[in-house]
Amino acid sequence: MLTLFLLFLAGFGAGFVDSIAGGGGIITLPAILAAGVPPHFALATNKLQSSFGSFTASVNYAKKGLYEPKKVLEGVFFTFVGAVLGAITVQYFSAKFLSDFIIFMLIVLFFFTLFNKNLGLKAKARRVKPFAFYILFGLLIGFYDGFFGPGTGSFWTIALVLLLGLDLKGATAQTKIFNFTSNIVSLGVFAFSGLVLWKIGIIMGIGQIAGAFTGSTLVAKKEVTFVRYFFLVVVAATIVKLAYDRW
């Protein structure tokens, strides 16, 4: 019971963090592994519990008017396709070869955001048409999340800010519906393989719901600068965690 309670708390913390800046997996995956769950089962169960959080945050953001679901359907579709391809591909290849490249990209993203203090503070004119953007990044980031995963939310957020001209609040809101899409795809693949531990996943998922609702409500009330600082902290923590695991 104590272990399950601690996993519930991990789910809450991850849901809160993930709804604001992504990166909740750096909390939940180590927690599940620390509970003695084998790695493949831990990865699968992590997808189950994170689906609760990303769904809750995406619904709450939509209700608060931070994005319109009808306007992102193309992104959802192509993210779904990309994630399916990624989830299938990962069964035949090791994801380890991606780790060095992803750490490098996250470091670039961190310093780019750090030194561009006005990045995402205000909405700007988009640089590409939404349909073209969603085809490219839905397939690309969806594939990456289905194949590997860490940093997905960060990549989505910055891409939405730079190319579609959204501010960080709007980009964060849209990111969650795409995260949910790729989470569900990966979960389906893992469930079909019988790797999901449903009891642990659901208990953590309840924590995710509470955390995601709290975090997404906070974002709706706060200024964009709050999201920026939180985003930088989470990206830095993700870099440290990935580097530690890699080396």
Quick check: pTM over 0.75?
Answer: yes
Averaged over 170-177, what is the pLDDT? Answer: 94
> What ranges make up the beta strands (E) of the chain?
none
**What percent of the chain has a predicted confidence (pLDDT) above 70?**
96
> Two tokens at 198?
């449903």
Higher confidence at residue 42 or residue 121?
A: 42
- Give pLDDT, residue 96: 65
Among residues 110, 158, 113, the alpha carbon closest in space to that of 137 is found at: 158
Q: How confident is the model at residue 98 (pLDDT cuts 50, 70, 90)?
A: low
What SS3 string covers 128-164?
CCHHHHHHHHHHHHHHHHHHCCCCHHHHHHHHHHHHH
CA distances from 179 to 13, 76, 115, 127, 150 (A): 17, 9, 26, 23, 11
Report the distance separating Cα 153 and Cα 44, nearest Å.
18
How confident is residue 150, by pLDDT bands cut at 50, 70 and 90? Answer: confident
Distance between CA atoms of residues 150 and 246, nearest Å: 13
In contact, 79 and 141? CB cutoff 8 Å: yes
| Domain definitions of the chain by residue range | 2-246
Asked whether residue 92 carries a pLDDT value surpassing 80, the answer given is no
Distance CA 83, CA 130 (A): 19
Rounded CA separation 228/148 (Å): 25
pLDDT of 95? 59
For residues 128 and 175, give the distance between their C-alpha atoms in angstroms, rounded to a whole number.
Answer: 18
193 vs 188: CA distance, rounded Å: 9
Extract the tokens encoding 192: 């079909």
19-23, 73-77, 184-188, 227-231 — which one is most confidently predicted on average? 73-77
